[in-house]
Amino acid sequence: MKRTEFGIIGGGLAGLSLSILLARNGKSVRLIERHAYPFHRVCGEYISRESLPFLRELLPELDWNNLPLIDKLVVSSVSGKTLQNPLDLGGIGISRFYLDQALANEAKNAGVLLEENCLLKNWIDEDSGISLETASGDFECEKLILAYGKGRGPATKAKKLNRNFIGVKYHIRFPHPPDEIQLHNFRNGYCGMSRVENGISCLCYLVDSAELKSNGNNLKEMEYQVLRKNPFLKEIFDKAEFLWNEPKTVSGVTFGAKGSMQKNAFVIGDAAGSIAPLCGNGMSMALHGASKLANVLINGTEHTDSAQRHSKEWKSEFSNRILAGQLIQQVFGKEWLSNMAIEVLRNNPGLSKKLIGLTHGKVF
Ligand SMILES: Cc1cc2nc3c(=O)[nH]c(=O)nc-3n(C[C@H](O)[C@H](O)[C@H](O)COP(=O)(O)OP(=O)(O)OC[C@H]3O[C@@H](n4cnc5c(N)ncnc54)[C@H](O)[C@@H]3O)c2cc1C
């Protein structure tokens, strides 16, 4: 059986960045990813600048200076009332297609054994090590890191979800200020638009699955009947050039903390807990979680000590931000509440700043 010191499940931002850091520090690492790079995934493409120094170190060759800098937030209510706010720290726009591919290449260069098109089906913790059962054969590792994102993950039972969301994403061409991220509410959901590389914009929305159901599970019908009620979204859907035949979609999206350890496995990124997408901070949290866990694993001694340190650090860094995101998310997608919130925030610029601050971390 092919054995490495570390096994990482999931090659999103958390898994890829951790794999690079471990491999650069001389560790043997296998990363298992169900898809093959490059690929598009449902994710808005605004990365908070708190993670820019970290990303620059991971990918020194990438042309960071030519990516759009995003410093303004425009929010509209369901009926089109707007609020504009400067973003103190701001973000950059970069597609996941481009970023994940660059990280995957860097991981391979650093010596990571990258298994693409490889779905993990199960893992078993045994005295001799951890066995990984995949669709493309079995592997073994001494320490396991779960970074499989927002899904329920392998070897976990499906839970019945009371309320869950559908994510939908397009790449479009549409004239709008490149330094602005727009967040437009519609009934039971919200839609973000921001610029990425090459003049392309990412248009990505999240909608309560019940809203889609009440539109006969027909996305086009829902976009026509519900999203277009917001005048900003009407203009975008009427005038933009849509670059893909079909959008990328994901279902069963939920938010909240899930836990930073599963048995003896370390958990990071969305697999440990996901923040509501409107905070525009999930990617930075995935990267930050990887950076913190790398420190623990590179300098770690006993497994129990590393596990305790990881749990403590994860909780203190992320659990309050996830909770704040969940609370703010309640306001979105509701007509009277989003109108009222925009009115209140317009008259209290300090409050908007505080709310944004609650979901964001420090530069790392
Ligand atoms: C609609 C929407 C919009 C968002 N917009 C933004 C935004 O603008 N800015 C922001 O910062 N964040 C945003 N987020 C959040 C962001 O997408 C996540 O927080 C971030 O991608 C988490 O990174 P990750 O590495 O934990 O997971 P992911 O990037 O999801 O990666 C997980 C990987 O694991 C792989 N995988 C899963 N199961 C298996 C398996 N069994 N075997 C092998 N591989 C497996 C998957 O294929 C995937 O590649 C958004 C999220 C949604 C849903």
CATH of the domain at 177: 3.50.50.60
Tell me, yes or no, whether 52 lies in a domain.
no
Domain shared by 116 and 219, yes or no:
no
Closest Cα to atom 8, ligand 1: which residue?
44
Domain shared by 248 and 113, yes or no:
no
Domain shared by 243 and 261, yes or no:
no
Domain shared by 219 and 297, yes or no:
no
Domain shared by 127 and 221, yes or no:
no
Q: Which of 115, 53, 46, 118 is nearest to 277 (CA)?
A: 46
With the most atoms of ligand 1 within 8 angstroms of its CB, the residue from 270, 287, 359 to mutate is: 270
pLDDT confidence of residue 64: 95
Tell me, yes or no, whether 285 lies in a domain.
yes
pTM above 0.85, yes or no: yes
Q: How far apart are CA 107 and CA 22, in angstroms?
A: 10
- Are 202 and 93 spatial neighbours (Cβ–Cβ below 8 Å)? yes
Domain shared by 229 and 309, yes or no:
no
The DSSP symbol for 66 reads G
Residues of the chain with pLDDT under 70: 1, 155-162
For residue range 91-123, what is the model confidence (pLDDT) as tens digits? 999 999 999 999 999 999 999 999 999 999 999
Distance 12 CA to ligand 1 centre (A): 6
Q: How far apart are CA 100 and CA 104, in angstroms?
A: 6
Q: How far apart are CA 341 and CA 355, in angstroms?
A: 12
Is the CB–ligand 1 distance for residue 296 below 6 Å?
Answer: no
270 is in which domain, residue-wise?
2-43+95-153+254-328
The DSSP symbol for 100 reads H
Domain shared by 117 and 243, yes or no:
no
Is the CB–ligand 1 distance for residue 7 below 6 Å?
Answer: no
Distance 166 CA to ligand 1 centre (A): 14
| 349-359 and 320-329 helices, crossing angle to 10° | 130
DSSP string, 165-211: EEEEEEEEE----TTEEEEEEETTEEEEEEE-GGG-EEEEEEEEHHH
The atom of ligand 1 lying closest to the CA of 16 is 25
Q: How far apart are CA 248 and CA 217, in angstroms?
A: 15
Domain shared by 173 and 27, yes or no:
no
How long a stretch of residues is the chain? 364
How many separate domains does the chain show? 2
Tell me, yes or no, whether 158 lies in a domain.
no
The atom of ligand 1 lying closest to the CA of 167 is 1
Rg (CA), the chain: 20
Is the CB–ligand 1 distance for residue 11 below 6 Å?
Answer: yes
Distance 344 CA to ligand 1 centre (A): 33
Q: How far apart are CA 148 and CA 140, in angstroms?
A: 18
Around 117, how many Cα atoms within 13 Å sit in the side-chain half-sphere? 2
Which residues fall within 8 angstroms of residue 211, CB to CB, at 6 or more apart? 187, 188, 189, 222, 226
Is the CB–ligand 1 distance for residue 278 below 6 Å?
Answer: no
Tell me, yes or no, whether 60 lies in a domain.
no
Domain shared by 99 and 120, yes or no:
yes
pLDDT confidence of residue 270: 96
Distance 149 CA to ligand 1 centre (A): 5
The atom of ligand 1 lying closest to the CA of 134 is 42
Domain shared by 196 and 308, yes or no:
no
Tell me, yes or no, whether 59 lies in a domain.
no
Is the CB–ligand 1 distance for residue 33 below 6 Å?
Answer: yes
Tell me, yes or no, whether 194 lies in a domain.
yes
Domain shared by 134 and 70, yes or no:
no
Tell me, yes or no, whether 174 lies in a domain.
yes
SS3 328: helix
Domain shared by 87 and 217, yes or no:
yes
Partners of 146 in beta bridges: 9, 267
